[in-house]
Amino acid sequence: MCRTDNPPSCNGSVTSWHHRLTSLIGDVTCHSDFINTTSDVTVECTDFGAWQIAGSCLQYKWSNPPLTLFPVAIPLPVRPGWSVCVEGIPTAPIRFTVDLMVGADNRALHADFRFQYSTTPNEIIIMGYKYNGAYLGRVEFTSFPFSVNQPFHLRIKATDTGMYELIVNNTLCASNPHQPILPATAITSVNVNNYISVTHLNLLCSM
């Protein structure tokens, strides 16, 4: 027999129980950093005495995530107006990057924040995309509101008008058109890497 005081882990809490002819159903409310990705989430004790889970609560927000967390899958389909928010601290005067991934390697947006890297000028933001192994559509911006060892809040927004906007500490500092070959609706995950300590990540910060 199933015990209602010990339902299976489902990233949520059972808020109500109701009986069906041959089973017991528990309605689930997702935990605060998780989101319901289906019409509903339930746990069910079948007439065989076994628990089953229907639907899913998936995580969309992290505080102090480990660097090994990335890339992180986006739990819901991306739509115009979607944003991802990253809070972090640059750890070295070199670079850090944020990529909006399409599958394993393509990038609908490659945002490279360079203190000093390769032969490019110091303190520059590069926006572009990656398709079939090639980095394309490069645009450079000299607005650079980052300092080593200083925390920042970055919001990357896919706007309704077909732009990517980089909003740093509530100030717009760069924008770049979507690339039709890799539209925002194709984005599947977010990757943050290189010289940065991520302290907060919200994959759905437009909600």
Q: Where are the domains of the chain?
A: 12-59, 61-202
Amino acid (1-letter code) at residue 131 = Y
CATH architecture of 61-202: Sandwich (2.60)
Is the previous residue joined to 71 through a cis bond, with omega within 30 degrees of 0? yes
CB–CB of 88/202 below 8 Å? no
What Å distances lie between residue 111 and 34, 48, 135, 175, CA to CA?
A: 26, 52, 11, 11
Rounded average pLDDT over 180-202: 93
pLDDT tens for 146-190 read 999 999 999 999 998 888 999 999 999 999 977 778 999 999 999
Indicate the pTM of the whole model: 0.89
**Ramachandran class of 123: left when φ > 0, alpha when ψ lies in -120 to 50, beta otherwise:** left
Query: From CA 181, how far away is CA 144, in angstroms rounded?
Result: 28
Looking up tokens 């010289």 gives 195
How far apart CA 28 and CA 54 sit, in angstroms, is 10
